[in-house]
Amino acid sequence: MSSVCVHGLGYIGLPTAAVLAEAGHDVFGYDVDVELLDAIERGELHVDEPGLDDVIASALDGSLSVTREVVPADYHLICVPTPLEDGRAELSYVEAAGEAVAAELRPDDTVILESTVPPGTTVEVLGPVLERSGLDVGEFSLAYSPETVLPGNVIAELHDNDRAIGGVDAASVEAAVALYGSFVEGELRTMSDPTLAEFVKLLQNTYRDVNIALANEVAMIAADYDLDSREAIALANHHPRVDLHQPGPGVGGHCIPIDPLFLGQGSDRLDLIERARAINDGMAAYVTDLLETELGSITDTSVAILGVAYKGNVADARESPGLRLAETLQQRVRATHAPGAEGAGVGGSDTDTEIDVRLHDPHVTDSHLALESLPDALSGADAAVIATDHDEYAVLDPTEVAAQLDGDTVIDAKGILDVAAWEAAGVTVVEL
């Protein structure tokens, strides 16, 4: 068994540290956020993920310890954020982690980057930072191994998913295989180029984003033919070589909407990929169009948005389609009444016109979002939009909702309602 220092104890690093400890390694979890370390030690988890509490608790009772300083270790695993800022990947966290590793790096140690990064980052950015240790790449091992776990199923996928491993040389691949082989039950797919592994990770999320964009465009076209897009997609998917994804109010989370753009960092060839991004981001405007068609005008209406988590049964509201829809509704009303806009009052903006957007989510707890209870959100609203496929929404009682709403329109952007039952309760359901 080996010693492992995990850098960054967030959504990825913390479960990974726990699983490594479970596999018998001596694991030191390091994070720059000292309050986070204190909270982990108190057993307070910041990651809302099924099954994680138990795995962390038993790891902390065993060979996982949190550390306030980077420690020398056989392996350094870097799991720090790589957000998109001004259209580019912000790599300063990777560089800072690399510097901290360099200060403790010993000959024959292995450094593995797990963060999602633009192709070339391990070799061109991290490698040179690590060489500030005085050691050259080759004297230590260096590899890239992307994380592919699905939020909501992290612990299972850490074990079960195949794992891509790209090392700068054979020794690096061998060292990374030894570590991941101790807990991964999926295939270890090795390659002698970290850049290829970085590229493959981005391709997986880009495939999903482009596929969802196609489904969203199909939904808009199907509506023009008065066809049910989900039925059409299900029928098309019976073909053995067709796998269309599902339409929705937009693509959220901090991976799928962002990772495709990392491909543009070293190439100006992005075309379809950028269109797909625009189509997916444009779904908020399309749902707004649907509401305008149903309500006549959205000015001076109240609309309940059910779901601000980026997807069903998670508490994460990053890049939330529901919040984007809320903003789009407000912008549309403001634009309609801006000076000079068609329908604007003579002499300028009509400050009395607005839209009352109410937000509800049974999972999200962010106090900045002014979330309302479900009865408060629905009470007297002209329409409701299902923006997230939470289980709680699939089992809503249509009669109760119909009694709470003032209007009779529900836009089911996730296709989770039993339309016949809702229409029997007097609700007009519009699906994507």
Ligand X SMILES: CC(=O)N[C@@H]1[C@@H](OP(=O)(O)OP(=O)(O)OC[C@H]2O[C@@H](n3ccc(=O)[nH]c3=O)[C@H](O)[C@@H]2O)O[C@H](CO)[C@@H](O)[C@@H]1O
Residues that bind ligand NAD (CB under 6 A): 7-13, 30-33, 36, 79-82, 93, 96-97, 115-116, 147, 149, 151, 255
The smaller minimum CB distance to ligand NAD, of residues 116 and 216, is found at 116
The smaller minimum CB distance to ligand X, of residues 151 and 362, is found at 151
Alpha-carbon 219 to chain mean position: 22
Instruction: Give bridge partners of residue 360 from the DSSP assignment.
Output: 306
d(CA 133, CA 424): 70
Closest approach of ligand X to the CB of residue 114, in Å: 11
The one of ligand NAD, ligand X, none whose footprint includes residue 112, by CB under 5 to 8 A per kind, is: none
The one of ligand NAD, ligand X, none whose footprint includes residue 311, by CB under 5 to 8 A per kind, is: ligand X
The smaller minimum CB distance to ligand NAD, of residues 206 and 409, is found at 206
**Cα four-point dihedral sign 272, 277, 283, 284:** negative
How many C-beta atoms surround the C-beta of residue 344 within 10 A? 16
The smaller minimum CB distance to ligand NAD, of residues 37 and 295, is found at 37
The smaller minimum CB distance to ligand NAD, of residues 33 and 274, is found at 33
Q: Give residues with Cβ within 8 angstroms of 332, minimum separation 6.
A: 285, 288, 292, 298
d(CA 95, CA 80): 10
Closest approach of ligand NAD to the CB of residue 137, in Å: 20
Tell me the C-alpha to C-alpha distance, in Å, between residue 243 and each of 31, 63, 179, 234, 235: 40, 43, 34, 9, 10
Active site includes 255? yes
Closest approach of ligand X to the CB of residue 255, in Å: 3
Task: Give me the residue label for tokens 């050691």.
Answer: 135
The one of ligand X, ligand NAD, none whose footprint includes residue 407, by CB under 5 to 8 A per kind, is: none
Q: What is the DSSP letter of 137?
A: B
Q: What is the DSSP letter of 131?
A: G
The enclosing H or E element of 110 equals strand 110-113
The smaller minimum CB distance to ligand NAD, of residues 309 and 383, is found at 309
The enclosing H or E element of 302 equals strand 302-306
List 79, 201, 311, 414, catalytic entry:
201
d(CA 421, CA 402): 12
Closest approach of ligand X to the CB of residue 100, in Å: 24
Binding site for ligand X (CB under 6 A): 116, 147-151, 204-205, 208, 212, 245-246, 248, 251-253, 255-256, 310-311, 321
The one of ligand NAD, ligand X, none whose footprint includes residue 31, by CB under 5 to 8 A per kind, is: ligand NAD
Closest approach of ligand X to the CB of residue 252, in Å: 4
Phi, psi of 14 (to 5 degrees): -65, -50
The one of ligand NAD, ligand X, none whose footprint includes residue 246, by CB under 5 to 8 A per kind, is: ligand X
Closest approach of ligand NAD to the CB of residue 309, in Å: 13
Q: What is the DSSP letter of 246?
A: -
Two tokens at 54?
């138990």
The one of ligand NAD, ligand X, none whose footprint includes residue 80, by CB under 5 to 8 A per kind, is: ligand NAD
Active site residues: 201, 255
